Structure 1
Amino acid sequence: MSSSDNTKLWGGRFTGSVDPVMMQYNESLTFDRVFYSQDIRGSIAYARANTHTGILTQHEFSEIERGLKQVQKEWENNTFEVRPEVDEDIHTANERRLGEVIGKEIAGKLHTGRSRNDQVATDMRLWLRDHLDKLEGYLVDFLRVIAARAEKEIEAVMPGYTHLQRAQPIRWSHWMLMYGSSLMPQKKNPDSLELLRGKSGRVFGQMAGLMMSVKGIPSTYNKDLQESVEPMLDHVKTVGDSLQIATGVLSTLAIRPENMLKALTPDMLATDLADYLVRKGVPFRETHHISGQVVALAEKVGKPMDKLSLEELQGVDKRFEKNVMEVFDYQKSVEMRSAKGGTSKSAVMEQIEAVKTALSGGR
C-alpha cells in the first residue's frame, strides 16, 4: 500500500503518523454510515448540477453516477468493505470507493466546489426528511386511535386531577384528547408506559446536550457539530418506537367505566356548588369561599356533601334553595362544561371532529 493511499483529506497538514486515540476520537463512520444512501443521492445531484456549469462533462457525470450506484448496491448488499485507516466518515468512504470503481481522475472531480461540511448538512437534512415522513405516519396512527376511542367511549366519566389531587368530573374522552400519559388503568404493571415516561427524559437530555454543544461555537460549520449526529439518530429511533408503543398500548387497553365512576366523590362537585350561586348573581370570589365552607361542614359532620340536608346547606348560606340538590350529579356536572375545549359531550365531539378533520388533511 502506498503512502498516498493512506492520506486523509486533512492529512497533508501534518507530518508523521496520527495518534490512534485521535483517529478513533475523530472518526464518525461507525454511526454516519446510515447516511450512505443520502450521501450518494446528494452527490449524484451535485454532479448533475456541475454538468450544467461546465465543471463536469456528460461522460464524467455518467461515470460518476454509474460508480455511485454501484457503491450504493454494495452498502445495500452489505458487501462494502470499510478501510478504517482511510475511511474517516461516510463521505470519504464513498468517494474512496468511487475512485476505485471509476478511477481517481474522474472521481476526484466530484468534490469540486463543495466541502464535507456541505455534505454533512445535506445528508442530515435528507435523512431527517425521509424519517420525519415515517414519524408523521406513526403520529397519525396514534391520533386516529385516540379519536376512535374518545368517540366510542364518550360516556365514561372519571375524576380530573390537579396538583395530584382529584378535582372535577371529566369525561375519559376529554382526558384522552388532552395528552398519550402513563396513568392509564390498563394493567397493574404498565411497563410500556413507564418506559415511555422514562424515554422522555432521554430525548430531552439529547436536546439539552446539543444546545450545550452549539452555544459556544462561532458561525458556520465546526467539528463540534459532529456531536449532533449520534443523538439525532437515537432521538429519531426513540420517538418512532415510542409512538408505535403508545399506539399499541392505547389500541389494546381496556377501560373500566364502573371503577372510574366509583372514583368520583361529591366533594369534586364543590366548583359546581360555587357555579350554582354564581348563576344566582353571587360574585365568584364569594361563592368560592361559601363552597369551601360547605366542604368543611361535610368533613366536620362526617357526611358526603350530597347527603347534607337543605337546612344544613342554608346554615352556610341562605341563598341555597331546594334545587341545589340537582348540583350533585356527575353527568350534569360534565355537561355544564360546554365551552370550547370543555368536557361536555358536545365539546368533546367537537374536539374529536377537529382531530378527524386534521387527519384527513382538512377535507
Structure 2
Amino acid sequence: MKLWGGRFTKPTNELVDEYTASITFDKKLAHYDIQGSLAHVHMLASCKILSQEDAELITDGLHKVKEKIDQDDGLLTVENEDIHMNIEKLLIDEIGPVGGKLHTGRSRNDQVALDMRLYAREAIVEITNLVVEVQKALHNQAQQNIDTVLPGYTHLQRAQPILFAHHLLAYVSMFQRDVERLRDSFKRVNKSPLGAGALAGTTFPIDRELVADLLHFDGVCENSLDAVSDRDFVLEFLSNASMIAMHLSRLCEELVQWSSAEFRFVELDDAFSTGSSMMPQKKNPDVAELVRGKTGRVYGNLFGLLTTLKGLPLAYNKDMQEDKEGMFDTVDTIKGALALFAPMIDTMQVKKENMYQAVRKDFSNATDLADYLVGKQLAFREAHAVVGQIVLYCIEQNKYLLDLSLDEYHQFSTLVEEDIFEKLAPEAVVNARNVQGGTAKNRVQEQLNQSETLFRENEDWIKTYVEKIKGQS
C-alpha cells in the first residue's frame, strides 16, 4: 500500500504508476533529498517535536539509506513514485515505524522545492567554474596572439583588420556576462522553502530559519504559497544556460569556418576532431558542430518549462514535475560542452600567417584611407566617395590599396602623399584604433589585464560557495 493510501479503497492502476512516477529521473536528487532530511530532523529535535532518541535513530538510518542508494540505485522503484517516497520507504525498512516521523511538519511539495534549490545552486557554482575555465583558455590564446592580425567581419564580409586577441576577448566579455548572471541568480536560488508545507505552512512549531542556516541558505521563502509553486529559479537558470549555449554556439560557428580550407585560420587538435568513414582526407570539427547543435535542446528545455508554467494556478500542481528532466538535461549538456571547450581552445593551432595574408589581400583598410583624406580636410562623405572609386579601380585592375602607386592615387586625389603606404599597413590600421575597448595592441593589453582581475574575483566567489555548500553536504 502507498504511504499516502489511507483514504483509498483500491490500488493505483499500474499504468498510472508508470505514467506519474518520477523516480526514473528524480533519483538524481537522492543526495539532496537526504541532505534536506538530515537538516529537517535536526530541527524537529531542536524544537522538541521529535525526541532526541528518535532523531538520532532517523539520522543514522538516513546515512545508511544513502550508502545503500550510492551502492545500488536499483532499490528505487516506480511503485514508490518519487525520490521522496522511495527514501522514506527505505528508511522505514531500515529503522522501523519511527522512520515515518521524518515527514512531520513537511510535505513533498516543499520537500521537492528544497531539493531542486539544493541541486540548482550546486549546478550554478559548478557551471560558473567551467565558464571561467573557458574564459581562461580564450585569454591564454589571446595572450599568445597579441600581435596576430586577421580580418574583422560584418555581414561575414571583411570589414576592418583586428587583432585575433581582440576577437577572442570579445567572447571573454560574453562569458563574463554569463558568469555575472549566474552569480546574480544564486541569491534568488539560495532561499529555503522548507516549512511551507503543502501550501499553507504547518501547525507544528518548526524553526524555518534553523533549517535554512543548517543548509547554508541566505534566508527563507517568505510566502508559503510562493515557496512551493515557484519555479522562477529554474526558469532563470534555463535562460542563463541558453545564453551560455548561444555564446558557445557562436564561437563554434566561427571555429567551423576558420578551420575550413576556405579560411585556414585555425586547426583544431586531433583530440577534438573526427574523421570520415568514407573520405580518408577529412578532419571534421565535430565537437564544435555538436556543441552548436545541442544549443537547440537547451532552448527547448527553457521553452518547454515556460509553456508548462504559464497556466498553472497556485499552489503546487503535478504539472510541475516537468521541471526536472529539462533542468537535469540542460545541466548535463552545458557542463559537457564547457568541459570540452576549454581544452579544445587551449590546444587550437592558430595559423597566423594565413590570417595576415588574408588581411593584405582585401580592402579592410579602406576606412583608414577615407579617414586619412578627412585628416587632409576633405569632408567625410567626399572622402567616402573617392575611396569607393579607388576600390572600384583596384577591383578592375586586380589590385589592392597597398599595390597602387602614388601616381595611381593621384588620379583620384592629390591629397594622398607617400605616407599613405605606412598608414594602410595592417599593423598601423589596427593600432590606429587606440580608443578604450579598441583593437590597438595597448588597448587589447588593457583588456587582458582587466580580464585577469575579473577571473580572480570570479574564482574567489566560486571558492566561497564551494566551501559553503559542500562543507555541509
Name the TM-score, length of structure 2 as normaliser. 0.70
Supply the distance in 1 between the matched residues of 2:430 and 2:353 (Cα, whole angstroms).
17
For residue 83 of structure 2, what is the aligned residue in structure 1?
A: 90
After superposition, where does 1:183-202 map in structure 2 within 5 Å? 183-184=254-255, 185-187=266-268, 188-202=283-297
Say whether the 8 Å CA contact 1:71–1:80 is kept in structure 2: no
Instruction: Compute the displacement of 1:285 (Å).
Output: 4.1
Matched-pair contact (CA < 8 Å) for 2:18–2:78 = no
- 2:301 matched residue in structure 1: 206
Find the counterpart in structure 2 of residue 246 from structure 1: 341
Change (3 A) 1:217 1:293: farther
1:162 matched to 2:154? The reply is yes
- Closer/same/farther in 2, CA of residues 358 and 19 from structure 1, 3 Å limit: same
Q: Which amino acid aligns with 1:58?
A: Q
Counterpart Cα distance in 1 of 2:322 and 2:314? 16
Alignment of 1:1-363 (within 5 A): 6-9=1-4, 11-12=5-6, 14-78=8-72, 81-85=75-79, 87-104=80-97, 106-179=98-171, 181-182=251-252, 183-184=254-255, 185-187=266-268, 188-264=283-359, 265-361=361-457
Distance, in Å, in 2 between the alignment partners of 1:322 and 1:144 is: 43
Instruction: Report the AA paired with residue 82 of structure 1.
Output: L
Whole-Å separation in 1 of the counterparts to 2:87 and 2:138: 44
Alpha-carbon separation, structure 2, partners of 1:134 and 1:328? 47
Deviation at 1:14, TM superposition (A): 4.6
The 3 A distance-change label for structure 1 pair 266 and 79 is closer
**Separation in 1, partners of 2:398, 2:135:** 44
TM-score of the aligned structures, taking structure 1 as reference length: 0.91
Provide Cα deviations, 1:122-180, integer angstroms capped at 9, x if missing partner.
11111122233322222222222211221122111111121111221111111111226
Counterpart of 1:93 in structure 2: which amino acid?
N
- What amino acid maps onto 2:75 in structure 1? E
For 1:124 and 1:131, the matched residues in 2 are separated by 10
Change (3 A) 1:41 1:27: same
Give the conservation status (yes or no) of the 8 Å contact 1:266–1:306.
Answer: no
Residues 337 and 343, structure 1, Cα contact 8 Å, conserved in 2: yes
What are the superposed Cα offsets for residues 303-339 of structure 1, whole Å, 9 maximum, x if unpaired?
2222233344343344333333333200111111222
**Aligned in 2, Cα 1:284/1:59: closer, same or farther, shift over 3 Å?**
farther
The 1-side partners of 2:284 and 2:396 are apart by 38
Structure whose alpha-carbon radius of gyration is higher = 1
Change (3 A) 1:46 1:281: farther
- Kept in 2, the 8 Å contact 1:74–1:80? The answer is no
**Equivalent-residue separation in structure 1 for 2:369 and 2:59 (angstroms):** 75
Percent identity, aligned pairs only, is: 39
The Cα shift of 1:283 comes to: 4.2
Count of paired positions: 355
Q: Does the 8 A contact of 1:159 with 1:170 survive in 2?
A: yes
Shift of residue 22, structure 1, vs aligned partner: 2.1
Q: Which amino acid aligns with 1:7?
A: K
- Work out the CA distance in 1 between the residues paired with 2:170 and 2:69: 44
CA change 1:44–1:285 in 2 (3 A) is: farther
After superposing the two structures, state which structure 1 stretch, 15-24 or 270-279, moved more.
15-24
Structure 2 match to 1:3: none
Q: Is the 2:23–2:77 contact (alpha carbons within 8 Å) kept by the matching residues of 1?
A: no
Asked if structure 1 preserves the Cα contact closer than 8 Å seen for 2:163 and 2:439, the reply is yes
Question: How far does residue 274 in structure 1 lie from its aligned partner after superposition?
Answer: 1.9
Q: Are 1:35 and 1:123, in contact at CA under 8 Å, matched by a contact in 2?
A: yes
The 1:251/1:305 distance shift into structure 2, 3 A limit, reads same
Q: How far apart, CA to CA, are the structure 2 residues paired with 1:253 and 1:281? A: 46
Deviation at 1:238, TM superposition (A): 0.9
Deviation at 1:12, TM superposition (A): 4.6
| Structure 2 counterpart SS, 1:154 | coil
Question: For 1:88 and 1:208, how far apart are their aligned partners in 2?
Answer: 26
